[in-house]
C-alpha cells in the first residue's frame, strides 16, 4: 500500500537478494580484499582533488591552455580523477547489485540484506570482525546492532536410496 503523497518511484527499492548468515560469511574474504583497495582509491581521489584545486587556485583557467606549463599535469590529473571515480562507482554498484552496502569505508562497515525473525534486516559486519554476527533493522544503524541469535535452518535430510 502506498503512502499518501508518495509516488511509486520514491518507494524504497527491493533488495536484489537476501543473504543468509553463512552466505555473507563466505563473502567476507573477498570483501577483506576489496575494501582496502576501495579505500585506497578514495584516498588517492582526495589527493588528486587537492592537487587539481591547488592548480586551479594558483593558475585559474590559464592552466587549461594547451601551451601552459602545467597543462599536461592537469590533463593527467583529470584523467586519473575520471578513472578513479569510475572504478569506485563500478565497485560500489557491483556490491549494491548483490545486496551488499558499504556503509562506512574508513572502518569497513558493510551491510548485507538478510532475514531475521521473518523481517528484512541488514546483516551487519565490520572489518576485523571474524564473522557476520550482528543485524539491525533497515531503518536503524550500527548503534542498533543486535547479536544474531537465530540459527540457520538445517538443510533438508538427504533421502536414502534402497539398500
Lowest average pLDDT, out of 46-55, 64-73, 150-159, goes to: 150-159
**Does 6 map to a domain?**
no
Task: From 129, 155, 136, select the one nearest 31 (Cα to Cα).
Answer: 129
For 11, which DSSP code?
A: S
Task: From 105, 104, 127, select the one nearest 41 (Cα to Cα).
Answer: 105
Could you tell me the three cell numbers for 81?
Answer: 580523477
Domain count, the chain: 1
Structural domain for 63, as ranges: 18-147
Cβ contact 48:77 at 8 Å: yes
Q: pLDDT, tens digit, for every residue of 76-93?
A: 999 999 999 999 999 999
Question: Using 50, 70 and 90 to split pLDDT, how confident is the model at 65?
Answer: confident
Q: Is the pLDDT of residue 9 over 70?
A: no
Cβ contact 100:91 at 8 Å: no
**Does 52 map to a domain?**
yes
**Does 158 map to a domain?**
no
**Does 5 map to a domain?**
no
pLDDT over 90 for what percent of the chain? 61
Question: Using 50, 70 and 90 to split pLDDT, how confident is the model at 13?
Answer: low
What pLDDT was estimated at residue 150? Answer: 61
> Which H or E run includes 119?
strand 119-126
pLDDT over 70 for what percent of the chain? 82
pTM of the model: 0.73
Amino acid at each position: 500500500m502506498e503512502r499518501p503523497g508518495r509516488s511509486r518511484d520514491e518507494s524504497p527499492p527491493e533488495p536484489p537478494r537476501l543473504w543468509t548468515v553463512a552466505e555473507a560469511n563466505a563473502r567476507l574474504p573477498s570483501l577483506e580484499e576489496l575494501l582496502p583497495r576501495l579505500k585506497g582509491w578514495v584516498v588517492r581521489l582526495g589527493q588528486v582533488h587537492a592537487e587539481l584545486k591547488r592548480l586551479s587556485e594558483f593558475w585559474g583557467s590559464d592552466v587549461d591552455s594547451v601551451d601552459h606549463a602545467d597543462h599536461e599535469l592537469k590533463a593527467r590529473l583529470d584523467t586519473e580523477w575520471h578513472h578513479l571515480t569510475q572504478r569506485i562507482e563500478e565497485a560500489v554498484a557491483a556490491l549494491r547489485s548483490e545486496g551488499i552496502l558499504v556503509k562506512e569505508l574508513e572502518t569497513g562497515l558493510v551491510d548485507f540484506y538478510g532475514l531475521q525473525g521473518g523481517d528484512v534486516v541488514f546483516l551487519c559486519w565490520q572489518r576485523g570482525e571474524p564473522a557476520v554476527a550482528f543485524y539491525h533493522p533497515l531503518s536503524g544503524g550500527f548503534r542498533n546492532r543486535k547479536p544474531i541469535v537465530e540459527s540457520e535452518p538445517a538443510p533438508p535430510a538427504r533421502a536414502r536410496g534402497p539398500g
